[in-house]
Structure 1
Amino acid sequence: MTGRWYTPAQIVAAAGGDLPSSIGSLNKLIAARGWRSDAARTRHVAKRGGGFEYHESLLPEGVRARLALAETADVVEASDESWIAFERLPAKKKEEAERRLAAIQRYDVLIRSGATASTASLTVCRDYGCAARTLTRWREMVAGLARSAQLAALAPQHTGTPSRRSACHQKAYEAFKSDYLRPEQPTFSACYRRMKAVAGREGWAPIPSERALRRHLDNDVSPAVQTLAREGRDQAKALFPAQTRARQHFHAMQAVTMDGHRFDVFVRTSDGTILRPHLIALQDLHSGKLIAWRLATSENKDVVRLVIGDMITVHGIPEMIYLDNGRAFASKDISGGTANRFRFTAKPDDPDGLLTTLGVTIHWTTPYSGQSKPIERAFRDLTDTISRHPFCAGAYTGNRPDAKPENYGSKAIEIEAFRSHVASQIAEHNGRAGRKAVACRGRSFDETFRDSLAKPDTIVRWASESQRSLWLMAATRIKARSGNGEIHFMGNRYWHPALTGHAGKRVTVRYDPDDLKAGVKVYDQANRLIADAECILATGFDDTDAARKHNRNRAGYLKALKTQKLMHTVMTADELAALYEDRTVRAAEEDETLRLPSIPRIVPRGGAAALRLEEIEDTPETGWDDEAETAFSRGLRLVTGGRQP
Structure 2
Amino acid sequence: MTYLTVKEVADLKGCSPQYIKKIILDGSLLSKVSVNKNNRKKYLIPIEELTEQEQLKYYKSHAIDIPENLLANKKEKTQRPHKEFDEFTAEQREEIAEWIRILNAWDEYCATSKLQKVPATEKFVQLQKVANPDLNISKGILYRKKAALKADDLAGLLDNRGSWKKGTSSIPEEAWQCFLSFYLDEAQHPIQACYEYTEMWIKREAPQLLPLPAYASFYRKVQTAIPKPVEIMGREGMKAFRDRCAPYIRRTYEGMASNEWWIADNHTFDVQTKGESGSIHRLYLTAFFDARSGIFTGCYVTDAPSSQATLIALRKGIAKYGIPENIYVDNGREFLTFDVGGLGHRLKKSQKAKFAPPPVFERLGIKMTNAIVRNAKAKIIERRFRDVKDRLSRLFPTYTGGNVVERPERLKKVIKDNDNIPTDYEFTQAVEDILTYYMNEKPYSGAVNADSGKTRMQVYREQLKEKRVASELDLNLMLMRSTKSQKVGRRGVHLTIAGEKIDYYNDELILNYFGKEMYCRYDPEDISTVRVYDLNDNYIMTVPVDNEAVLTYGSSKDAVGQALRKVRSLEKLTKQELKASQITALGKKTALEIVLAAAEENKAKAEEINPKVISVHRADETAEQLPVAVGQNNIVKIDKAKMIRNLEERQREE
Q: TM-score range by the shorter chain?
A: 0.5 to 0.7
% of aligned pairs identical?
24
Deviation at 1:256, TM superposition (A): 1.5
Aligned residue in 1 for 2:334: 328
The one-letter code sitting in structure 1 at the alignment partner of 2:265 is D
Deviation at 1:452, TM superposition (A): 4.3
User: 1:137-286 counterparts in 2 under 5 A?
Assistant: 138=148, 151=154, 160-162=163-165, 167=170, 177-183=180-186, 185=188, 187-189=190-192, 205-231=210-236, 236=241, 237-238=243-244, 245-271=251-277, 274-286=280-292
Q: Secondary structure at the match of 1:350?
A: coil
Deviation at 1:379, TM superposition (A): 0.7
Q: How many residues get paired? A: 432
Q: Secondary structure at the match of 1:519?
A: strand
Aligned residue in 2 for 1:569: none
The one-letter code sitting in structure 2 at the alignment partner of 1:362 is M
Q: Secondary structure at the match of 1:265?
A: strand
Q: Secondary structure at the match of 2:483?
A: strand
Distance in 2 (CA, whole Å) between partners of 1:255 and 1:80 is 53
Distance in 2 (CA, whole Å) between partners of 1:160 and 1:195 is 29
User: Within the alignment, does 1:419 sit opposite 2:428 as a pair?
Assistant: yes
Distance in 1 (CA, whole Å) between partners of 2:342 and 2:469 is 21
Deviation at 1:350, TM superposition (A): 0.5
The one-letter code sitting in structure 2 at the alignment partner of 1:333 is D
Contact 2:271 2:396 in 1 (8 A): no
Deviation at 1:301, TM superposition (A): 1.1
1:86-108 Cα distance to aligned partner (Å, 9 max, x none): 338735753478579989x99xx
Aligned residue in 1 for 2:521: 510
Of 353, 378, 387, the residue aligned with 2:393 is 387
Contact 1:508 1:524 in 2 (8 A): yes
Of 461, 464, 475, the residue aligned with 1:468 is 475
Q: Secondary structure at the match of 1:330?
A: coil
Aligned residue in 2 for 1:352: 358
Distance in 1 (CA, whole Å) between partners of 2:380 and 2:477 is 27
Distance in 1 (CA, whole Å) between partners of 2:406 and 2:190 is 26
The one-letter code sitting in structure 1 at the alignment partner of 2:338 is K
User: Within the alignment, does 1:304 sit opposite 2:310 as a pair?
Assistant: yes
Distance in 2 (CA, whole Å) between partners of 1:477 and 1:387 is 40
Distance in 2 (CA, whole Å) between partners of 1:232 and 1:386 is 38
1:24-52 Cα distance to aligned partner (Å, 9 max, x none): xxxxxxxxxxxxxxxxxxxxxxxxxxxxx
Deviation at 1:307, TM superposition (A): 1.4
Contact 1:485 1:502 in 2 (8 A): no
Contact 2:171 2:217 in 1 (8 A): no
The one-letter code sitting in structure 1 at the alignment partner of 2:538 is R
What RMSD over aligned residues (CA atoms) do the two structures have, in Å?
4.8
Of 378, 402, 406, the residue aligned with 1:398 is 402
Distance in 2 (CA, whole Å) between partners of 1:84 and 1:132 is 24
Deviation at 1:179, TM superposition (A): 4.7
Distance in 2 (CA, whole Å) between partners of 1:408 and 1:181 is 47
Distance in 2 (CA, whole Å) between partners of 1:101 and 1:530 is 96
Contact 2:307 2:337 in 1 (8 A): yes
Of 533, 538, 554, the residue aligned with 1:528 is 538
Deviation at 1:507, TM superposition (A): 2.0
Of 294, 300, 313, the residue aligned with 2:319 is 313
Contact 2:99 2:157 in 1 (8 A): yes
Deviation at 1:311, TM superposition (A): 1.6
Q: Report the TM-score, using the length of structure 1 for normalisation.
A: 0.55
Question: Structure 2 vs 1, CA of residues 180 and 402 (structure 1 numbering), >3 Å: closer, same or farther?
Answer: farther
Quick check: 315-324 or 170-179, which moved more? 170-179
1:353-392 Cα distance to aligned partner (Å, 9 max, x none): 0010111122233345564454222111111123333432
Distance in 1 (CA, whole Å) between partners of 2:297 and 2:283 is 19
Q: Secondary structure at the match of 1:520?
A: strand
User: Within the alignment, does 1:493 sit opposite 2:519 as a pair?
Assistant: no
Contact 1:287 1:440 in 2 (8 A): no
Contact 1:253 1:319 in 2 (8 A): yes
Contact 1:257 1:321 in 2 (8 A): yes
Question: Structure 2 vs 1, CA of residues 171 and 272 (structure 1 numbering), >3 Å: closer, same or farther?
Answer: farther
Q: Secondary structure at the match of 2:484?
A: strand
Question: Structure 2 vs 1, CA of residues 247 and 429 (structure 1 numbering), >3 Å: closer, same or farther?
Answer: farther
Contact 2:294 2:440 in 1 (8 A): no
Distance in 1 (CA, whole Å) between partners of 2:313 and 2:273 is 21
The one-letter code sitting in structure 1 at the alignment partner of 2:431 is V
Aligned residue in 2 for 1:90: 92
Question: Structure 2 vs 1, CA of residues 325 and 378 (structure 1 numbering), >3 Å: closer, same or farther?
Answer: same
User: Within the alignment, does 1:436 sit opposite 2:445 as a pair?
Assistant: yes
Question: Structure 2 vs 1, CA of residues 292 and 88 (structure 1 numbering), >3 Å: closer, same or farther?
Answer: closer
1:450-471 Cα distance to aligned partner (Å, 9 max, x none): 4445xxxx32121223323346
Aligned residue in 2 for 1:343: 346
Higher Cα Rg: structure 1 or 2?
A: 1
1:296-336 Cα distance to aligned partner (Å, 9 max, x none): 23322111122112222222212222222322212111123
Distance in 2 (CA, whole Å) between partners of 1:255 and 1:281 is 13
Contact 2:398 2:411 in 1 (8 A): no
Question: Structure 2 vs 1, CA of residues 263 and 347 (structure 1 numbering), >3 Å: closer, same or farther?
Answer: farther
The one-letter code sitting in structure 1 at the alignment partner of 2:428 is R
Distance in 2 (CA, whole Å) between partners of 1:463 and 1:185 is 57
Q: Secondary structure at the match of 2:357?
A: coil
Deviation at 1:475, TM superposition (A): 0.5
User: 1:553-568 counterparts in 2 under 5 A?
Assistant: none
Question: Structure 2 vs 1, CA of residues 300 and 153 (structure 1 numbering), >3 Å: closer, same or farther?
Answer: same
Contact 1:519 1:532 in 2 (8 A): yes
Quick check: 345-354 or 187-196, which moved more? 187-196
The one-letter code sitting in structure 2 at the alignment partner of 1:225 is V
Q: Secondary structure at the match of 2:540?
A: strand
Contact 1:97 1:152 in 2 (8 A): no
1:442-496 Cα distance to aligned partner (Å, 9 max, x none): 222223334445xxxx3212122332334653211322326x7921332122134
Contact 2:272 2:282 in 1 (8 A): yes
Q: Secondary structure at the match of 1:477?
A: coil
Aligned residue in 1 for 2:457: 446
1:270-289 Cα distance to aligned partner (Å, 9 max, x none): 35555433211011222211
Quick check: 355-364 or 91-100, which moved more? 91-100
